[in-house]
């Protein structure tokens, strides 16, 4: 005998229905557990959501360091064609530069004035030659520093330009002489500076001209006339800077 169809259908559905219910329950659970869409860790420079503070650092959150002058590593008093130096502390890796005009119409473009990048500690330094036409006086120098975030900071300081010194080089000068002997006057002043030396003998004044070398030295040698009487004679040296300013000093020659 064949089994009753109704009994068979009842048995089939009684087995299938619980399985289908378990499948539907699994699908609903999976849908409810889907991850939410990605959220930005920062918004407008602020940490948002559940992000851990300090995890993300934005350019806006970086502090800009003021420019500090390192006094013991800076020398900002010199003369035309002399040297100056400057060391600063600012934001690490900032692009640093400065401008100075020394009273001239345009900023100096002398060797050594150029942009530099601060190191990891924020140190930046320069050494440069003062413009040959720099005027004597106290002049402003403006330093700028542009860190990674682009926020520029500035600092103004004063630099001093003096007349060049005039110093006797005693190791190369021979100024105690007899008549008919060879005398030598050697001086040290600013590099590449025009010099005139005038010596006033009683009857034969003489003038020597020249330009100092890269070290600021110049030397004149001459023979003392046999007719020169014993005594002390002034040797007047006058220097002229690129701006036309002058300085002079007097040295003595002794004829024995």
Does the pLDDT value for residue 64 go beyond 90?
Answer: no
**Whether the Cβ atoms of residue 189 and residue 100 lie closer than 8 Å to each other:** no
Neighbouring CB atoms inside 10 A of 252's CB total: 11
Which pLDDT score, from 0 to 100, does residue 216 have?
97
Token pair of 253 as six digits: 């020659």
Q: Are residues 150 and 172 in the same domain?
A: no
Which pLDDT score, from 0 to 100, does residue 149 have?
84
- 7 within domain boundaries: no
Structural domains in the chain (count): 2
* CATH code of 230's domain: 2.60.40.3880
Please state, in angstroms and rounded to a whole number, the distance separating the CA atoms of residues 254 and 225: 13
Q: What is the pLDDT of residues 197-225, one digit of tens each?
A: 998 876 778 899 999 999 999 999 999 98
Angle at alpha carbon of residue 11, lines to 8 and 17, rounded to 5°: 130
Q: Are residues 188 and 228 in the same domain?
A: yes
Which of 134, 162, 190 marks a domain boundary? 162
Please state, in angstroms and rounded to a whole number, the distance separating the CA atoms of residues 151 and 153: 7
Helices (H), the chain: 5-32
Q: With bands split at pLDDT 50, 70 and 90, how would you rate the model's confidence at 43?
A: very low
Average pLDDT, the chain: 83
DSSP string covering 212-253, please?
Answer: --TTSEEEEEEEPPTTPPSEEEEEEEEEE-TTS-EEEEEEEE
- 31 within domain boundaries: no
Please state, in angstroms and rounded to a whole number, the distance separating the CA atoms of residues 69 and 86: 8
Which of 162, 192, 222 marks a domain boundary? 162
Which pLDDT score, from 0 to 100, does residue 29 have?
54
Q: Are residues 189 and 245 in the same domain?
A: yes
**Whether the Cβ atoms of residue 251 and residue 237 lie closer than 8 Å to each other:** yes
- 33 within domain boundaries: no
Which structural domain range is residue 84 located in?
Answer: 63-162
Q: Are residues 150 and 174 in the same domain?
A: no
CB burial readout 205-234, b (16+ within 10 A) else e: eeebeeebeeebebebeeebeeebeeeebe
Q: With bands split at pLDDT 50, 70 and 90, how would you rate the model's confidence at 131?
A: very high
- 105 within domain boundaries: yes
> Token match 């007719």: residue?
227
Q: Are residues 150 and 173 in the same domain?
A: no
Q: What is the pLDDT of residues 75-101, one digit of tens each?
A: 999 999 999 999 999 999 999 999 999
Neighbouring CB atoms inside 10 A of 42's CB total: 16
Q: What is the pLDDT of residues 154-194, one digit of tens each?
A: 999 999 999 999 999 999 999 999 999 999 999 999 999 99
Q: Are residues 210 and 242 in the same domain?
A: yes
- 54 within domain boundaries: no
Q: Are residues 96 and 173 in the same domain?
A: no
Which of 162, 177, 205 marks a domain boundary? 162
Which pLDDT score, from 0 to 100, does residue 46 have?
32
Tell me which of 55-59, 119-123, 252-256 is least confident. 55-59
Which pLDDT score, from 0 to 100, does residue 4 have?
53
């Amino acid at each position: 005998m064949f089994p009753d169809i109704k009994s068979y259908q009842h048995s089939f559905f009684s087995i299938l229905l619980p399985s289908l219910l378990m499948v539907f329950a699994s699908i609903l659970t999976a849908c409810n557990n889907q991850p939410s869409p990605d959220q930005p860790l920062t918004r407008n420079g602020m940490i948002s959501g559940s992000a851990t503070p300090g995890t993300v650092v934005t350019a806006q959150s970086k502090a800009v360091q003021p420019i500090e002058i390192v006094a013991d590593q800076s020398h900002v008093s010199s003369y035309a064609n002399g040297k100056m130096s400057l060391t600063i502390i600012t934001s690490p890796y900032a692009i640093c530069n400065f401008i100075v005009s020394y009273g001239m119409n345009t900023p100096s473009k002398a060797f050594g004035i150029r942009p530099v990048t601060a190191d990891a500690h924020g140190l930046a330094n320069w050494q440069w030659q003062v413009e040959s036409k720099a005027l004597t006086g106290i002049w402003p120098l403006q330093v700028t520093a542009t860190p990674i975030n682009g926020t520029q900071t500035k600092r103004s300081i004063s630099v001093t330009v003096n007349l060049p010194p005039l110093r006797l080089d005693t190791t190369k000068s021979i100024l105690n002489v007899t008549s008919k002997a060879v005398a030598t006057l050697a001086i040290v002043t600013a590099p590449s500076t025009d010099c005139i030396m005038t010596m006033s003998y009683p009857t034969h004044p003489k003038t020597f001209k020249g330009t100092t070398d890269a070290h600021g030295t110049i030397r004149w040698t001459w023979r003392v006339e046999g007719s020169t009487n014993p005594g002390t004679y002034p040797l007047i040296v006058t220097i002229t800077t690129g701006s036309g300013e002058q300085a002079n000093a007097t040295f003595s020659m002794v004829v024995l």
